[in-house]
Structure 1
Amino acid sequence: MIDLHRTPLVLLSGLAEPPVRLLADRLTATSGTALVHHDLRHTGDGVIRRLVRLGTAERIETVPLDHDCVSCTLRQDLLPLVRALSRRPEVERIVVRLDEALEPELVCQELHTALVDDTPVTEDVEVEAVITAIDQASWLAAATGDAALDEVDLHAGHDDDRTLAQVAVAQAEFADVLVLAGEAPDAWTAARTGAVLQRLAPRAALLDLCGADTDRMLGAVPDEGHRGKPRDPHGPVVTGQPPLDPDCGVTLLTFAAGRPFHPQRLHEALDVLLDGVVRTRGRAWLAGRPDDHLWVESAGGGLGIRLAGGWLDSPHGPDWDEASPEHRTFAALRWHPVWGDRVQELAVVAHRADPADIDHTLRGALLTDAELAEGPEAWRHYPDPFAAGPDEPRDDTAGAAPASVGDSPTIRQDER
């Protein structure tokens, strides 16, 4: 239920500009709805173009880049603007149409954590829905490829080294409503796209663009939808009720183990998460690094591993009372008398890979019984390809929040 004391906020995302623009027009046809859009296609000129529309009044302005940083500029311009609009009595809803290169979860993270006049913007607005348009003709190829954003002229600034797949997947999996636009080139592609989306975003409602009017889109938001709440990296890696049976060759594998990975063997095994895999998300525990909770993410042909803080059982982890209720509950359910909450948990959505082969390869990277018996002191001497070099200090806070646009909190970045 929407808090009547806060202004409803809708975020629109998608790689394909025409359907996103059409959805924005539909949502803002309702009286009292303001539209905000920051166009990042002009960052090469040192500016971002900002559009604000309310009713028939429309204003387009250029916002200079702050220190050539897209994230800083958006944070300093979008958040105060959203707050100001929310406090205008004639504004009953705000629609933020995100640039094609933006990931809605990162924007929501800023809404919840960045301070404007010493308070987060979510004191004045409440995310009503995150809606993502999916172009059926091109989305699957984008989500499973390895093209960089700058190769397709969608990068958000000169330092944006993300891939098209990373953005395509991130936009889909955080959506409350997925709107299918256009036509797939054939029935097989349409079926495979649907099978991937059902496993990637099982909590999202699926609508067709033709019938996606304002009432239907907002009414379709499921009770268990994200509604803009950033995901806890210490929470479950699979939520909702995704199909467990294969469909059109698309599968969902959940990998779990209660012993650490051998760093060198895991490094050699990671290719199995790149070939024929749409998405990997989850946590990893490396022998020799008992305090580091590592977060693993792959999308298409790119993979990254970053630090997500410490385990609850580690000396440098958060205190039990400081952890979220979800984090504490999840840790208690899996607590081991020796290893505490340390665990391997990965969710892998594959479209052209054998889940049995993925499982076999990852289990081969775990410590053997003999290595496990050697103990933690011996593990510290194992070669660790993931360790930062002398000129690359480790950032133990990198996993506390999603990366900003163009940031790279990655320990290792692989591309096919």
Structure 2
Amino acid sequence: MNDTRPRVTVLAGFSAAATDAVARSLLLTDPSLILVAHDLAGVRDGVVRRTVRTAGEVLEEGRTDLVHGCVSCTLREDVLPTLVRLSRAHPASDLVLALPPAIEPEAVAAACAVGSVDGVAVTDAVRFDSYVAVVEAAGVVDDLCSTDSLRDRGLHAAGNDERAVADVVVRQIEFADTVVVWSSPGADAFERHRLAALLHRLAPWAAHVHVGDSPKVDCTGLAGRLLRTGRHDPGVPGMMGRALEGYPIGIHDRHGEHGVNAMLFRSRRPFHPQRLHDALDDLTAEALRGRGQLWIATQPGTAIAWESSGGGLLLGNLGHWLAALPRERWDEASDMRRLAADAAWDPYYGDRGTVLSFVGFGLDVDAMTATLGRCLLTDAEIADGAESWGALPDPFADFFPLDDGADQPASAERAVS
């Protein structure tokens, strides 16, 4: 089939200068290519400024006054309408959407997947070709290790935006179909190789591109690796939903290279809530990045997301395990979720299970594995039966409320017949 929708390449990066450099390099290769960029300096006051340009001219300079100053309002009230409008006005031109540092690409993808403008679905007007993370070599490791918040840097997108710098940077990298490292001539060779090793372990599913080591940039070669690649698959879930749907969340590479290594931890038995809580500081201090899913014995109905970076930890509610739901509700889950559950179904635990990925500098894989293993229920605790687990001390009580009472272990029935 001949798909005539304009393609959109989304550039996300915490370094505005590096993102702009990549965007302008792409414009030089195609006079019809259109760049859309936003200035969020006034977003907390409800003002967003927009520039639309080609390599040769500025097509628009506009301002949008938001009902509420926040990222979601920016996407809904300006970004999506701009993409649809440009697709109509310039149907033969592809688009590059350069995101400001505070916007995470997964939020853009989610808004575009369900968004509409004047009754027209955004995805009927444009097709999202790929999401590209632009990383500035000189500062990204410091940002990934930083304990700063966006507010500390003056980049928070709303009064209640408490996101950490490390969280935003790593989410931009992990969601990418392509990761571009923007370097500079004379960069230290070891640091360059160490960064490449780190990025490959943070986003092993992405294509990786390195530019900027010489004074001249091969713009045509760069465009060939970033534009019209068709790498983005809208069916692949975001980072926190990947394990539930059977997608990889990392690699196990205990030895690593250039001082960077990674590990995977898997278990079908649940965590003891108190022992897990007591180990959190050690686990988050050891790894640069942790991600995945887990379950704890006192809350057998809830799949819990783990996301750690910059020394901080976010635990979130991923919804019900299928084993905790009546069979007639399993159709609420995606096809991939049910297929993944079926492939790994356990007669006792159902689809419940822990899958955690950790990436760091010189991780002690044996020590990390032992620490996590000690947090699991022991053989004796398992033998006491699921009915006894609810009496265990639980510092996470009421952290992950479910929307109904279907939180008791269900019989082990396969998720897909």
Bin of the TM-score, shorter chain as denominator length: 0.7 to 0.9
**Which ranges of structure 2 fall in alignment gaps of 5 or more residues?**
405-417
Q: Which moved more, 1:113-122 or 1:294-303?
A: 113-122
**Could you tell me which residue of structure 2 aligns to residue 18 of structure 1?**
17
Q: Which amino acid aligns with 2:53?
A: R
**How far did residue 205 of structure 1 move?**
2.1
| CA pair 256-310 structure 1, distance change in 2 beyond 3 A | same
1:32 paired with 2:32, answer yes
Tell me the amino acid that sits aligned with residue 139 of structure 2.
S
Pick the aligned partner of 2:303 from 287, 290, 293. 293
Q: Offset at 1:363?
A: 0.9
Q: Which residue of 1 aligns with 2:204?
A: 202
Cα gap change, 1:195 to 1:347, in 2 (>3 Å): same
Provide the TM-score with structure 2 as the length reference. Answer: 0.85
SS of equivalent to 2:131: strand
Whichever residue aligns with residue 262 of structure 1, its letter is H
Q: 2:267·2:355 contact (CA, 8 Å) conserved in 1?
A: yes
Q: 1:135 to 1:69 in 2, by over 3 A?
A: closer
CA apart distance, 1:94? 1.3
Q: Which residue of 2 aligns with 1:250?
A: 260
Larger mean Cα displacement after TM superposition, 136-145 or 173-182: 173-182
Match of 2:71 in 1: 70
Alignment correspondent of 2:109: 108
What is the identity, as a one-letter code, of the residue corresponding to 1:385?
P
Cα offsets for 1:49-82 (capped at 9, x unmatched): 1222255233222222323333123222211221
Matched residue of 1:246: which SS? strand
* Aligned position for 2:409: none
Equivalent position SS for 2:376: coil
* Aligned positions of 1:234-383 closer than 5 A: 234-236=244-246, 238=248, 245-315=255-325, 319-383=329-393
CA distance in 2, matches of 1:281, 1:383: 25
* More divergent stretch after superposition (223-232 vs 284-293): 223-232
Cα separation, partners in 2 of 1:243 and 1:33, compared to 1, 3 Å: farther
Do the aligned residues in 1 keep the contact of 2:250 with 2:357 (CA within 8 Å)?
A: no
In the other structure, the counterpart of 2:47 is: 47
Shift of 1:352: 4.0
What's the CA shift for 1:182?
2.6
Preserved contact between residue 129 and residue 232 of structure 2 (Cα < 8 Å): no
Distance 1:196 1:365, change over 3 A: same
Contact 1:310 1:318 in 2 (8 A): no
Q: Which amino acid aligns with 2:48?
A: I
Shift in Å, 1:326: 2.3
Deviates more, 1:87-96 or 1:311-320: 311-320
Report the 3-state secondary structure (helix = DSSP H, G, I; strand = E; otherwise coil) of the residue aligned with 2:285: coil
In structure 2, the CA distance between the partners of 1:241 and 1:22, relative to structure 1 (3 Å rule), is same
Deviations 1:295-345 (A, max 9, x none): 111122121011111112112698444433322222112101121100011
Cα pair distance change 1:47/1:182, threshold 3 Å? same
Identity of aligned residues (%): 35
Q: Could you tell me how far apart the structure 1 residues matched to 2:192 and 2:117 are?
A: 43
TM-score normalised by the chain length of structure 1: 0.86
Count of residue pairs brought into register by the alignment? 393
Are residues 385 and 168 of structure 1, via their aligned partners in 2, closer, same or farther at CA, if it must alter by over 3 Å?
same
RMSD: 2.8
What is the identity, as a one-letter code, of the residue corresponding to 1:377? Answer: E
Cα distance, 1:214–1:129 mapped onto 2, change above 3 Å: farther
- Distance (whole Å) between structure 2 residues aligned to residue 227 and residue 214 of structure 1: 25
Answer with 1 or 2: which has the greater Rg: 2
C-alpha distance in structure 2 between counterparts of 1:367 and 1:79, whole Å? 48
- Asked if the contact 2:274/2:394 (under 8 Å) is kept, the reply is yes
CA distance in 2, matches of 1:222, 1:279: 31
